[in-house]
Structure 1
Amino acid sequence: MKRSIPIFFFLVITVITNSSYAQEVQDAASSHKSYKKGARLFKNGNFVKAEEQFQMLLDSGYRDNDLIAYQAQVHLELHEPHSAKDVILLSPKRDQDLDYLLAISHYYLEEFDDARRELSLVTDTATFHVDEMRRRLEDVAHHYHDAQGYVIQNFGSEVNTKYREYAPVMYDGFKELLFTTRNDSSEYTAHDGLAFEAIHDTSIDSLNQWHVADPFDFHTSHEKRHDATVQVYRNHTKLITFHEGRLFKSHLVDHTWEEDGPLELHDVEATDTHCHIADDESSIIFASDFQSFGHDLDLFVSYKQEDNTWSEPEALTELNTDFDEDSPFLAGDSTLYFSSRGHNSLGGYDVFKTTYDSKKKKWRKPINLDYPINTVSEDIYFSTYGKVGFISSTRVGGYGSLDLYRILLFNEIMINGTVVDEQTKDPIPNAQIEIVYDSLYFRTYTDKDGKYEMFVPVNKNMKITVLDGKKKVSQGEYFLDVFFREQDNLAFDFEIPSAGAVTPPTSGAQLIHVEMKNDFEEKPYIKSIAKDEISSWSDSLKNYYEQVRIANAPPGPGMVTVYLEFNSSDLSPSVKNVLNELYEDLLKDGKYKVEISGHTDPRGSQSYNQRLSLRRANVVGEFLFGHGLKKDKAKVVGYGETKLIDPSDSEEAHAKNRRVEIRYF
């Protein structure tokens, strides 16, 4: 069968093998036949049935620590850390075994402070991997803090269930999806208590919604054996699948998949779990345990020979570790992705990438893809096609165990359009567009023709307000979704009701539909803004001019505003970019006088806010002076909380108020 994904790698040794659990039949709970049967099932790897036996005892009122430890481990093996934590908290008096299991449960729930607290109670470092766990807790703070700006989308309840869905394979222009599931659609179960692996199929509609998944019409599928997805290639006419430890090739004949037989990659009895075969079938990279005699998976490469057989497999020694490597995927830009339990992964499997050095004839050192692609949970079966990726993960927030996710490798996209009168279709010049989401605030302005450009977040609910002067002319909830098509179309027009017009209320957010070609090319209109930068990020000066865009504006006074973090005067890279543009475009020739004024929100004392506002203004001033702005041309002042843009007590108002204004005149 296909390799299971145990959650205890590195961090846990089976607690029930400790001396405290080696004693036979300690009390009524442990002498109960359900306890003995559950322990036997646990030892044999049937965690589903073991959970049922232990739960019967718990439901009857037993609170024995041995029983609770067993059940907690069962839930962790089934990727259910919430349930593991809940059952541990049933114990009236925890011991070190339960403290350690609770620390691990918190870890997989991404409750890292709680995990540290529980781990501090475990003093038995000979029995438990305390030092290893501490190292991971230190590492995870770094990985999670430097989160990449990606959008992670669960495939939803039409695809994912409380069981296991994994190994996504996209084809037909990303409209069709094959994947592996171990749901309850089959009455037959494998030795681990879960249903046999089966391949399911689904498709996406014009609204980016996935249809209910159905069993894949596959010639070789069988209810009492494992059938799993691996790869579709050769223009969707050839298919690689997994069957009972071997990789099989099939081809499409009259809309039916016909099996060609197994890939004869070696002459040793072993398990080959996954592969990526070149489109012309000249080479194959695959995962197998044939050199470790069933202990660990490694990556190998073989080449097609003149007699149509595969060459002797070569181990990818630069990538293999003492632990499992699996699910290789060679992307269109020649980057190799794979999952590994080694290379200092965050949890179990993490996704890594590497490229081949043709001069040295070896693979470069693998790079961890980091959070949010990798989490402390299991992250495996990653594939990527240009700007979008796919992964299977047990991460927090899913439907249960392994779920399928789509990854957009960006989180901000520039849209453009015109603000027009809904009835006359006349453009509205010099209109202000405000965007608020996640307590963040941005704005931009239309030019003399009513046109605008602005970066907006993907897959976020936004409140967008349009003002004509001081008058609010439109406000609504919006949600931007990206559709991958053959060409780019990022246009969206805001239609403003005419004065006096009555508009019916809308329910829910209005969809901003943008289309984008999916490829590996860099594009200036999509951005990946890291988590720790997004609150002070801006795309360009276009967001901050309080008049028409400079390219179309006559000479005259104006103002640029940059926004800072709460209680901070630090300038993010994006704010520095804004100030760079301001200096180069307007202030470099010295024709303007400048006032740099710092402001705060009303939280904190007036005296502290006064000092903070001046500190903010000084930081911006020193940045511009360092670029060449003459000090005799500038005035630097702090106004504290005396000039609030929005006096209301809301996160949106606070985000608007903590700012530095650079006026030029």
Structure 2
Amino acid sequence: MESTNYRSFIFKILFFAYLLLSLSYITQAQNEKRYIKDGDAAKAAGDNPTALRLYLEAYKLNKTNASLNNKIGIQYIKSDYPHKCLSFFESAYKLDPKVDPDILFNLGVANQENLRFAEAIDFYTQFRATLPSSSPLLKKVDRRLYECANGIEFMAKPVDVKIESVGKVLNSTSPDFAPVISADEKVMIFTSRRPGSTGGLLDETGQYYEDIYISKKVNGQWGTPQNIGANINTDGHDASIALSADGSELFIYKDDGSGDIYYCKERPDGSWSKPLPIEGSVNSRSSYENAAAVSPDGNTLFFASNREGGYGGLDLYMVKMNDKGFWGKPVNLGPVINTEEDDEGPFMDFDGMTLYFSSRAHKGMGGYDIFKTYYDSTRSEWTDPINMGYPINTADNDIYFVLSGDGSHGYYASAKDDGVGEKDIYMISMPPREDKQALIAKMKAMNLDVQPVVTTPDPLPVPVVATAMLPITIKGVIKDADTGLPIVTSIQLTDANGELVAVVQANDKGMYSFVVHNAAATQYTLSAEKDGYGFVNKTFNVPGQTSSAQEITQNLALKKLAVGNIYVLRNIYFDFDKATLKQASNKELNNLLQLLEKNPGMQIEISGHTDSKGSDEYNRVLSKRRAQAVVNWLVSKGISKDRLSYEGYGETRPLASNDDEEDGRELNRRTEFKIIKQ
């Protein structure tokens, strides 16, 4: 009797647990459907940020919904972070290859946004094969294929520039963009959606209206930005678009119906006059004028407009000031510059001859690219636009570029993963210019300050040896770590500063080769990845050029993604004797983040390892803290804690003998990840 009662009791408990579990699943499914339904409504209303937020809430409840993954990917394409769409489109396609008639095209876009041009070409080609010969999409796909081919070309020969944030003094956690500067870089005016805007109102997207801010440089440092004042900023949107060379005349964009250009001047006391519409025929009632640039002498204005009579979309126009101080009749810059797509974001170089602008056409990599063209006064025509190259240009929208008077620094805004806000302002250290001294002389003639030029004394005479500095060849083979079979994929070479040097494609035998010119003694990193495999970043030293040819062989091995497999994260760096991640770890960490985003069902264990220096317990605790630091970084980037675990093994799992003071101990000091679930 007691046994029967016990069984009955257990049955009731199990039934009750089953009932609770079922109710939980039902509630979760209902919440998922509600989020998706609300997201669809927001999308239909044109509120893409809200739609994305709601879809992501639904995704937390169910990551295996192919349609939902596809919806999230589409919304990311429309956002300021289009590169984040990749993992969602890949998941959607993996769950249901027929989830969307455009899924192959969207996968092409996703790979293009992530600079994976070879993969993008593959998906675009597959999608193109599904289209009838009469499809209007053929032109769009062919343009994308052209952009990807350009991307491969530009990334193989990157421009020698350095791009870095202007810092948290200027950038905020809100979007900061459209920077304009005086020629001497003493004044920066930009647009921001930070709290404290004039009127304090939010628009339909839930963000503060755009206001204009100003910062001045003192002793080489940017000062805290100040709202430029109620004379200029209103309760609505106000955006900076151009600044005169001396920083005294500001051009702004106001959405006053059709969208027009206004100007205002700085008063002797530092305040600004009330904005007035540009005189003459610059603004038009039936068209949209949204961007401007003024020549160094202030006598020529360049602007963008979609007025009738153009070549398509937004075109660039030029207008000159007459002898009476009034703007004359605008002139279209012509078909060499303007295309059937949008051409805008003009900026006139301090040399008065070089025009920078952004275009969706010409020889671009995707979205807007920044180009430059020269005015040939002997022929009275503009030269063919030249792409500014990678990494100034990417597959995303690169627009509203401005340059210092001496050509040393460019500025623009971009939404990058390392930014503090949705958009941040970045400075580009430009390559040296042959006309720099002429530009400096021109600045001095206009009573503009010139940034100090650091010079070094002439070296003592040394014997001249007639030798030729030969380039260095870096070559190797990339194979499957388990089978030894060759892998065909792209390989990146970056320098010690993390700047991309070149990208090459391994051949069908897995062989690759880079030729590096003008190489100084430094470190380089080879990076490779392929779908279905763990990534690899291999750092090695290069001795620099010599008078004899050098070849450095670096073979790479990729290990397939499988439960139980362990992958070494070689380029994770910590401060000495601490668990604080160094900035040099970012590339490795971002690769791991991307891997987890592409494989939303994957669960991993992060493990820390040390050499034999120190006590066993100290090494175990330190290695565990370092593993936890990696997990914390991943969680801060949106990876669920449920997918991550960590452990510290100290010195208990060496890869080599700790008796080897350098190589052995270096191999043993490492971070790894192990796939627990795939």
**What TM-score do you get using the length of structure 2 for normalisation?**
0.56
Give the structure with the larger strand fraction: 1
2:367 alignment partner in structure 1: 348
Matched ranges for 1:84-103 at <5 A: 84-91=85-92, 92-94=95-97, 95=99, 97-103=102-108
The answer as to 2:379 corresponding to 1:360 is yes
The answer as to 2:454 corresponding to 1:489 is yes
| Counterpart among 316, 328, 338 of residue 299 in structure 1 | 316
Q: C-alpha deviations, 1:208-258, integer Å up to 9, x for none? A: 655554433352212x31111122226222211111122111112221101
Instruction: Decide whether the 8 Å contact of 2:366 with 2:394 is kept in 1.
Output: yes
Say if 1:358 and 1:279 are closer, same or farther in 2 by CA, change over 3 A.
closer
The answer as to 2:242 corresponding to 1:257 is no
The answer as to 2:94 corresponding to 1:76 is no
SS at match of 2:52: helix
Matched ranges for 1:426-465 at <5 A: none
Instruction: Decide whether the 8 Å contact of 2:166 with 2:427 is kept in 1.
Output: yes
1:369 alignment partner in structure 2: 388
Instruction: Decide whether the 8 Å contact of 1:266 with 1:312 is kept in 2.
Output: no
Matched ranges for 1:602-617 at <5 A: none
Instruction: Decide whether the 8 Å contact of 1:151 with 1:407 is kept in 2.
Output: yes
What is the alpha-carbon distance in structure 1 between the residues aligned to residue 118 and residue 49 of structure 2? 30
Shift of 1:34: 4.6
Instruction: Decide whether the 8 Å contact of 2:209 with 2:236 is kept in 1.
Output: yes
Give the structure with the larger helix fraction: 2
Say if 1:282 and 1:138 are closer, same or farther in 2 by CA, change over 3 A.
closer
| Counterpart among 337, 344, 349 of residue 319 in structure 1 | 337
1:390 alignment partner in structure 2: 411
| Counterpart among 182, 186, 189 of residue 171 in structure 1 | 182
Q: Which amino acid aligns with 1:322?
A: E
Say if 1:52 and 1:486 are closer, same or farther in 2 by CA, change over 3 A.
closer
1:112 alignment partner in structure 2: 117
Say if 1:143 and 1:163 are closer, same or farther in 2 by CA, change over 3 A.
farther
What is the alpha-carbon distance in structure 1 between the residues aligned to residue 284 and residue 393 of structure 2? 35
2:398 alignment partner in structure 1: 379
Q: Which amino acid aligns with 1:197?
A: E
Q: C-alpha deviations, 1:379-429, integer Å up to 9, x for none? A: 1111222222122234665456543221112389xxxxxxxxxxxxxxxxx
Q: C-alpha deviations, 1:435-486, integer Å up to 9, x for none? A: xxxxxxxxxxxxxxxxxxxxxxxxxxxxxxxxxxxxxxxxxxxxxxxxx955
SS at match of 1:141: helix
Instruction: Decide whether the 8 Å contact of 2:300 with 2:318 is kept in 1.
Output: yes
SS at match of 1:378: coil
SS at match of 1:110: coil
The two structures, once aligned, show a CA RMSD in angstroms of 4.1
| Counterpart among 188, 195, 201 of residue 214 in structure 2 | 201
What is the alpha-carbon distance in structure 1 between the residues aligned to residue 152 and residue 70 of structure 2? 28
Instruction: Decide whether the 8 Å contact of 2:472 with 2:549 is kept in 1.
Output: no
Matched ranges for 1:190-269 at <5 A: 190-204=203-217, 206=219, 210-222=222-234, 224-233=235-244, 235-244=246-255, 245-253=259-267, 254-264=269-279, 265-269=282-286
What is the alpha-carbon distance in structure 2 between the residues aligned to residue 221 and residue 124 of structure 1? 51
What is the alpha-carbon distance in structure 1 between the residues aligned to residue 207 and residue 402 of structure 2? 26
Shift of 1:82: 4.6
Q: Which amino acid aligns with 2:160?
A: G
What is the alpha-carbon distance in structure 2 between the residues aligned to residue 135 and residue 52 of structure 1? 33
Say if 1:649 and 1:203 are closer, same or farther in 2 by CA, change over 3 A.
farther
| Counterpart among 157, 177, 181 of residue 146 in structure 1 | 157
Instruction: Decide whether the 8 Å contact of 1:378 with 1:394 is kept in 2.
Output: no
Matched ranges for 1:46-57 at <5 A: 46-57=47-58
SS at match of 2:263: strand
1:432 alignment partner in structure 2: none
Flag structure 2 segments of 5+ consecutive residues without an equivalent.
Answer: 1-28, 434-448, 477-512, 520-545, 556-660, 665-678
SS at match of 1:381: coil
Instruction: Decide whether the 8 Å contact of 1:71 with 1:84 is kept in 2.
Output: yes
2:473 alignment partner in structure 1: 565
Instruction: Decide whether the 8 Å contact of 2:471 with 2:515 is kept in 1.
Output: no
Shift of 1:150: 1.4
SS at match of 1:195: coil
Q: C-alpha deviations, 1:62-118, integer Å up to 9, x for none? A: 754333322212112112235323433554334454443233222212233443455
What is the alpha-carbon distance in structure 2 between the residues aligned to residue 48 and residue 373 of structure 1? 27
What is the alpha-carbon distance in structure 1 between the residues aligned to residue 384 and residue 39 of structure 2? 44
Shift of 1:193: 4.8
1:133 alignment partner in structure 2: 144
SS at match of 1:301: strand
Say if 1:234 and 1:81 are closer, same or farther in 2 by CA, change over 3 A.
closer
What is the alpha-carbon distance in structure 2 between the residues aligned to residue 358 and residue 561 of structure 1? 40
What is the alpha-carbon distance in structure 2 between the residues aligned to residue 108 and residue 78 of structure 1? 12
Q: Which amino acid aligns with 2:227?
A: P
Instruction: Decide whether the 8 Å contact of 2:473 with 2:551 is kept in 1.
Output: no
Instruction: Decide whether the 8 Å contact of 1:155 with 1:406 is kept in 2.
Output: yes
Percent identity over the alignment? Answer: 22
**What TM-score do you get using the length of structure 1 for normalisation?**
0.57
2:582 alignment partner in structure 1: none
